[in-house]
Structure 1
């Protein structure tokens, strides 16, 4: 099972509209009348726009803040909407406001509404009202000044909705400009007998809504001439933003004016917001009306963030057993999933419920969350999953409220997934005695007896697309182009509907039976001998710390990664096949702490979230380092100056640094040696010269790389025999090793070489007397499996590591600068350079991006161009 965190909100919309959209999607439709679409529709981010068929069941309240607010049992629509809106579900008072870069403010100036008028109206003083709007008290006082002038008829006000097609003008004596006013720019105060000015709830909400919606640039233009200049504080008030924000944008433009003008002149949009302004005689910022309007034309209003959907998804086999089994089985499986969900959400609340006070995280008492269980996927396949919607507010120990510091949600979601999975498996194995089998996903487990054919059958969305693609190929006589795939995806996407799971069960059972999973087979899934046994901790820890354990995919790991690895590690059973570790969440946590403190594990960093490694992994790396150092100056595979000189004459086009590499590799006699070759710096060209020199000296030169494509490229560029690393490792018969004492093995793209593979190749070279040369760029892609020693060797032995820095393939200055920035970890700068070179293409969402990437790759492949498609996930590339 897995938790996925998705922010809920929307751009260019107010809180009410966003909340309404989320509530309509999650609340059972049968319990409510038809919901209006709302003006212009609701542009909702996150899963709320993809919630399949809304749930058949009411939601349940979770979280300590919900308990404190006396929210128990079923979720009521009004309470849910209030919580998402940042208001107390019982009193309606504000908890947090809806302003700021994330659409919300963390706290109010002095609590909540400062006082209540005699007629019951909630009133806010300057401190509270300022914090609700996310501005300073000085800025709030200015808005009161303008509102007072409007009330006295001294200055014109726009209509209540802030959308006036004409011009509203007025004049104030000294303190108020003669410009017309937009609704987001003023507050008409309620003045008490002692002269204190207050903002009423209605006035504050109207102004706040106008600021959330965003000021129309045409409103600014309609209030005066384009050349009118105003102080930046006045511009900020009219625009509905803070003075500090506009000053920052004006300074950015002042510092980067030339770059911004070049970007705009090339028809591209600058990546960072800016405001064209000029300095007055005293250095103060002044803004023309037209430049302010142009800024608003460019500006994207901040998103409204009302909560986070912490979605728990389950393995396909769980859904099949839960919804195709008998009533007892259904209750047991769904009960185990819900129990695991609630247990893990409580754990997550303990770890991640934090607010921020003065910019620092502060532990909260708890949060409000509403959990909704859905039973089907969008394609109406069995797929139990829980949407745990956490409101974007937390209650601190002193009873005050802050916006949720969501970083903890993302940081701890992976660990919560492991704990929920362990809790579910333990509960389900105890209740039903099911067995588990390894799934196709590394580290995953499915219910034994539900094979991949059944899993695929109930991955109906994928099957529908595959069938449609086959039909298309027959019809048009070719493989579908990615553009066709996108159209098919839209065509086969079912409309959102609400179909009770009970009406689908018979169809599901028939489909399962067609693959051999009939009622008798389903019943047999729960008739195994109970597999829950007390694990042998020492044996589990030794296995987990071994070569096939936790360090298979990385040299170091965190506690979270240890939790996941331990939960999914196969454990021998006294009766039957290996099973995952069948312990509950509490025991899993205690076991992982025991493992991290065991003799098998070493702590390598002491940060807030420390990293660990295993003794076995460290032994591999220490063996590589020691053998590499011992191999210096061994007189291995030396080439005479005459042979080196002849090779350099043959390759007269080599640069000075390339010649230095040839002389170093061929003339120093090291058994093992590395070299750094940046992208486009001529690595293979240089290796070709080395190969000629070695061959002239009577040596055999062979090459290898992790990827077959890299091995083929090396062979084509150098003329040497090349195979993949896997090929060499497969030929491990001591009597028939593929290396001998006259062999030099060149490993290309060495940064992708796993440490254990490097250790094995070095061992093979030591056994046979061969030499090894490694070349690659430590700053580029690392090994998929546990790796990193190539970078370490380059850094430790700089004097013995020649480097190719000058690029010959990448000629565009911006591309060169981007590559260098990327190597040094300056990602924002690298992206800016790519954008300046016209190589950055911004699209609206992931699916559009994948479609464009796939389309470009397809077109290049069809034209005979060997362009790779790069993504961190194999599933995406496939």
Structure 2
């Protein structure tokens, strides 16, 4: 049974110093004594939240017990200074202290050459200040805040239930958190030791604090708990205090979230008998599990303050109409909205829970029409299970593997763990142990059915092995897997891309005066004459792919006849654009796949099948399309850009094919942008060059500040462009921002009289639409046709012309007023949004005059590249520097705008194929740096004389020598540093010695990624490190002769060295 993903556990790093104070500031009784058995109800009448409590198995080392009250002083010692919360003693190394920006600037200015002139010095100081302003100030990490938020129906029920039921809900919430913490201590918590933290060690549990909070930043009920895990752990093997290895925490986060949901459901069902059901959450979100019987309208009413504002505004408008007999003017609507905003604004001060629950009860009573204190979800005796039957384990494991492989090309144990929990969410287990055991069974079965892509470990001595036999030189659960089926699909795609057939080779025919650029002409000719069954057309944004395809269609049809070119695209909207641009029959890939599997779609011999936006197509889909084309003797052309957005499911095929065939047809000249500088800048943006940020800033395209200010600035710039007659797109970072901007645009257009002030039709996103509004349909509905004969597609834009009392609305296409459609009420309420702002995924493929994008740190390089290449005349980015969170008490951590953009450019979001991940995994675990760190860690063990240790050291020594030989050969061929060495001696034995010393230098360079032209590069400040000392000694040996008389070695001389490349 498929389960929906609703991530209810979030992760945030907490800075040392006063980073913890957002938790203690709201506590009602911070340092007073409290009995651990004191119920939460004791704090209902107090202003603020309950004190924190201690959690975790690591408390024993500190003399604390789970459930003890956390005091302000203890938080200051542990999370503020990294010390023992009770005694104040040091817990290992102190938190590092990083220089503030002013200190960094001062130090660099002080080191400037004293001989600089006044203007030169001023210029240097300005450059330093600019560079440092773009760098975020580093802060030591004191801990990690895992926030556990109950599902919305649970929070609503808790808010409205009688006190005794509230207590039982909170108890289940706390117990579910405890289950997750135990899972973390068993499978996640670890520390690192050795060079670069190469050895992962077990720890004696976690040290954590838990703070309960009641409401969201909008004042809605939201039962949630901040569990702050200290970045201090005690190592089991030697008792030393070290930092927590945070990598596994990040990797396991989704699985931990799923486990919390399941554990909470089990406990609430066992204690209160509740039933659970899946509920849809819109087109772009998976279903969520909620308590059956808690009305959806009640959940939605408590889910967004903006919805509350809309509801209150509509009520005020209705009252105005009833009082005055006519609807309010646009100006009065503005005033009514302002009144609604004030009426629904949550207070800035803390309130007793008793006061909050009273308010929530009043809101619920007005909505439901009865006293919510008597609200009871249906109860019963849900069936519980102790253990899954063996046949059920195998069945569930196959479903788990199928779902995971559909979503991603490779996966880890934690991906399987999360999916296994989702697939069993409908089952109620008798105990936490029973669920743990079942999930472990499913994960292990799914692992057995997967194909391991991470290379096996080389020999590891027993001292560096875990009890299960795995080596501590690899992080626990770090192995990556794929499936035989997916790898085979990629192999078939590669084979088809390499296969040519004379019957698919044409003579290019391009009409004279076509206006094509040289790269476009070459692409048309290359595709038409290659004879390949599977061909590519790769080009950056704005390179004229549509123009090229139009010429290709002409060429292909000249040989194969009219109608011999057809098109496919991952979305119905993109397929329609392709049809309009090329005048060919098109379909979306999902529909084609469905029809083909039912025998209703077949290609014809000689057809050219153009798959547009191919980076968005999954590997499975492309394999099916190209496989059928191969059988039918048709040709497939994949069109797109691997540097733009990738597939939602397992993808990366377009990039794999492009890299496998370096001579693939490509477009290089960019035509879209009016400004020449922007044509070059977008190429650098595509490649992730952070220096391009300066170029955009120099041309006034970058704006940065607080999120609210950036939303305002982007909106105003977009609106002004529209007023000036430009086509423009407003791109938001996420759906919440889209909704915020949509509401703002609707309100402004109502004030201007462009949108009716009459009561609107409710839409999917919680907004409403009236005559004059722009809307976006979000689901394909082939039975819903407009007057132009075209059906309603996901992604279509419309302008509302009328709303109707039954909740339906009439709209027309923006560029075709005569193309109207009547959209039913159920479709409008479930699949229609306001259409002013969009996400970057909806922006891909569009071209406008100007584009205005709000950027946040969560974006990827591909998203930023797509967003900043939509506008012909201008593309502006508005960078949020405050990194807002969902909590008002989490203070903003300001980051310079350029640093945010640089971070975005460093984050790849494109899907990678299984073949590429295999290559990456092979390289990752066999780098010189990794092998050297492993060699050092093994050499430091106490069993140095054992056969296993000797064997492990020899293996890594051989591998390091191979790395050094390879690096030295590369240096001989193309790196200038080799010219700084003495020439190799003529004596064979001395030549072998020369090669060994030169290899030591090459290995050092490879290990530390040195690219300097001098042999050892800049002094890293760690001269005492063994490999640095070895490299220095080797260099001295190879530079012993007098510098004035030394002859540099030539490649020919080196090539004759016995241990060199000719051996």
8 A Cα contact 1:422 1:567, kept in partner? yes
Following superposition of structure 1 onto structure 2, how do residues 305-704 of structure 1 map, counting pairs within 5 Å? Answer: 306-326=142-162, 329-349=165-185, 351-352=188-189, 354=191, 360=197, 363=201, 364-396=203-235, 401-402=241-242, 406-439=246-279, 440=281, 441-442=285-286, 444-467=288-311, 477=330, 493-505=345-357, 508-509=360-361, 511-512=363-364, 514-515=367-368, 522-532=375-385, 534-535=387-388, 536-546=392-402, 549-569=403-423, 586-587=436-437, 590-599=440-449, 601-606=450-455, 608=475, 609-626=478-495, 629=498, 632-636=500-504, 638-639=505-506, 641=507, 644-645=508-509, 647-651=510-514, 653-697=515-559, 698-700=561-563, 701-704=565-568
Residue 79 of structure 1: how far off its partner (Å): 2.4
Q: How far apart, CA to CA, are the structure 2 residues paired with 1:465 and 1:409?
A: 38
Q: How far apart, CA to CA, are the structure 2 residues paired with 1:488 and 1:95?
A: 52
1:270 aligned onto 2:130: yes
**Cα–Cα, structure 1 residues 772 and 626, in superposed 2: closer, same or farther, change >3 Å?**
same
Which one of 72, 78, 88 corresponds to residue 73 of structure 2? 78
Q: How far apart, CA to CA, are the structure 1 residues paired with 2:192 and 2:28?
A: 28
**Cα–Cα, structure 1 residues 850 and 740, in superposed 2: closer, same or farther, change >3 Å?**
farther
Partner of 2:620: 756
- Residues 622-673 of structure 1: CA distance to partner in whole angstroms, max 9, x if unpaired? 454455555x21513x54x3xx33x24141x222221121112223343332
Q: How far apart, CA to CA, are the structure 1 residues paired with 2:213 and 2:235?
A: 31
- Residues 407-462 of structure 1: CA distance to partner in whole angstroms, max 9, x if unpaired? 55434433322332332233333333433222324153222233432220221424
1:778 aligned onto 2:784: no
**Cα–Cα, structure 1 residues 709 and 445, in superposed 2: closer, same or farther, change >3 Å?**
same
Q: How far apart, CA to CA, are the structure 1 residues paired with 2:678 and 2:123?
A: 20
Q: How far apart, CA to CA, are the structure 2 residues paired with 1:360 and 1:383?
A: 39
- Residues 46-90 of structure 1: CA distance to partner in whole angstroms, max 9, x if unpaired? xxxxxxx97532211123443322233122233233323324333
Q: Secondary structure at the match of 2:704?
A: coil
Q: How far apart, CA to CA, are the structure 1 residues paired with 2:603 and 2:156?
A: 52
1:90 aligned onto 2:83: no
Residue 505 of structure 1: how far off its partner (Å): 4.1
8 A Cα contact 1:747 1:775, kept in partner? yes
Partner of 1:6: 12
**Cα–Cα, structure 1 residues 796 and 873, in superposed 2: closer, same or farther, change >3 Å?**
farther
**Cα–Cα, structure 1 residues 402 and 624, in superposed 2: closer, same or farther, change >3 Å?**
closer
Q: How far apart, CA to CA, are the structure 1 residues paired with 2:432 and 2:553?
A: 55
8 A Cα contact 1:699 1:742, kept in partner? no
Residue 688 of structure 1: how far off its partner (Å): 0.9
Partner of 2:1007: none
Which one of 51, 54, 58 corresponds to residue 51 of structure 2? 58
Q: How far apart, CA to CA, are the structure 2 residues paired with 1:581 and 1:736?
A: 50
8 A Cα contact 1:312 1:341, kept in partner? yes
**Cα–Cα, structure 1 residues 467 and 875, in superposed 2: closer, same or farther, change >3 Å?**
same
8 A Cα contact 1:602 1:612, kept in partner? yes
8 A Cα contact 1:748 1:774, kept in partner? yes
8 A Cα contact 1:429 1:531, kept in partner? no
Q: Secondary structure at the match of 1:499?
A: coil
Residue 315 of structure 1: how far off its partner (Å): 0.8
8 A Cα contact 2:611 2:637, kept in partner? yes
- Residues 777-833 of structure 1: CA distance to partner in whole angstroms, max 9, x if unpaired? 12221112222222222233444x211123223475664554444444x45345444
Q: Secondary structure at the match of 1:541?
A: helix
Q: How far apart, CA to CA, are the structure 2 residues paired with 1:581 and 1:569?
A: 18
Q: How far apart, CA to CA, are the structure 2 residues paired with 1:692 and 1:715?
A: 15
8 A Cα contact 1:704 1:723, kept in partner? yes
- Residues 541-587 of structure 1: CA distance to partner in whole angstroms, max 9, x if unpaired? 122233xx2233222222222222111126787xxxx9999986632
Q: How far apart, CA to CA, are the structure 2 residues paired with 1:485 and 1:358?
A: 61
8 A Cα contact 2:160 2:373, kept in partner? no
Q: How far apart, CA to CA, are the structure 1 residues paired with 2:353 and 2:141?
A: 32
Residue 745 of structure 1: how far off its partner (Å): 2.2
Q: How far apart, CA to CA, are the structure 1 residues paired with 2:517 and 2:333?
A: 46
Following superposition of structure 1 onto structure 2, how do residues 129-168 of structure 1 map, counting pairs within 5 Å? Answer: none
Q: TM-score, normalised by structure 2?
A: 0.55
**Cα–Cα, structure 1 residues 532 and 304, in superposed 2: closer, same or farther, change >3 Å?**
same
Partner of 2:811: none
**Cα–Cα, structure 1 residues 69 and 588, in superposed 2: closer, same or farther, change >3 Å?**
same
1:24 aligned onto 2:20: no
Q: How far apart, CA to CA, are the structure 2 residues paired with 1:496 and 1:504?
A: 13
Q: Secondary structure at the match of 1:61?
A: strand
**Cα–Cα, structure 1 residues 89 and 542, in superposed 2: closer, same or farther, change >3 Å?**
closer
Residue 472 of structure 1: how far off its partner (Å): 11
8 A Cα contact 1:681 1:809, kept in partner? yes
**Cα–Cα, structure 1 residues 775 and 634, in superposed 2: closer, same or farther, change >3 Å?**
same
Residue 485 of structure 1: how far off its partner (Å): 11
Q: Which runs of 5+ in 1 are unaligned?
A: 33-52, 99-103, 106-132, 135-210, 216-238, 274-297
Q: Let me know the Cα RMSD of the aligned residues.
A: 4.6
Q: How far apart, CA to CA, are the structure 1 residues paired with 2:50 and 2:61?
A: 24
8 A Cα contact 1:309 1:390, kept in partner? yes
Q: How far apart, CA to CA, are the structure 2 residues paired with 1:462 and 1:429?
A: 32
Q: How far apart, CA to CA, are the structure 2 residues paired with 1:406 and 1:374?
A: 25
**Cα–Cα, structure 1 residues 804 and 260, in superposed 2: closer, same or farther, change >3 Å?**
farther
Q: How far apart, CA to CA, are the structure 2 residues paired with 1:618 and 1:299?
A: 41
8 A Cα contact 2:273 2:379, kept in partner? yes
Number of residues paired by the alignment?
A: 671
8 A Cα contact 2:301 2:308, kept in partner? no
Q: How far apart, CA to CA, are the structure 1 residues paired with 2:123 and 2:414?
A: 47
Q: How far apart, CA to CA, are the structure 2 residues paired with 1:733 and 1:796?
A: 29
Residue 371 of structure 1: how far off its partner (Å): 0.7
8 A Cα contact 1:532 1:582, kept in partner? no
Q: How far apart, CA to CA, are the structure 1 residues paired with 2:720 and 2:267?
A: 51
Residue 242 of structure 1: how far off its partner (Å): 11
Q: How far apart, CA to CA, are the structure 1 residues paired with 2:79 and 2:315?
A: 46
Residue 749 of structure 1: how far off its partner (Å): 1.5
Partner of 2:461: none
Q: Secondary structure at the match of 1:597?
A: helix
**Cα–Cα, structure 1 residues 454 and 541, in superposed 2: closer, same or farther, change >3 Å?**
same
8 A Cα contact 1:818 1:829, kept in partner? no
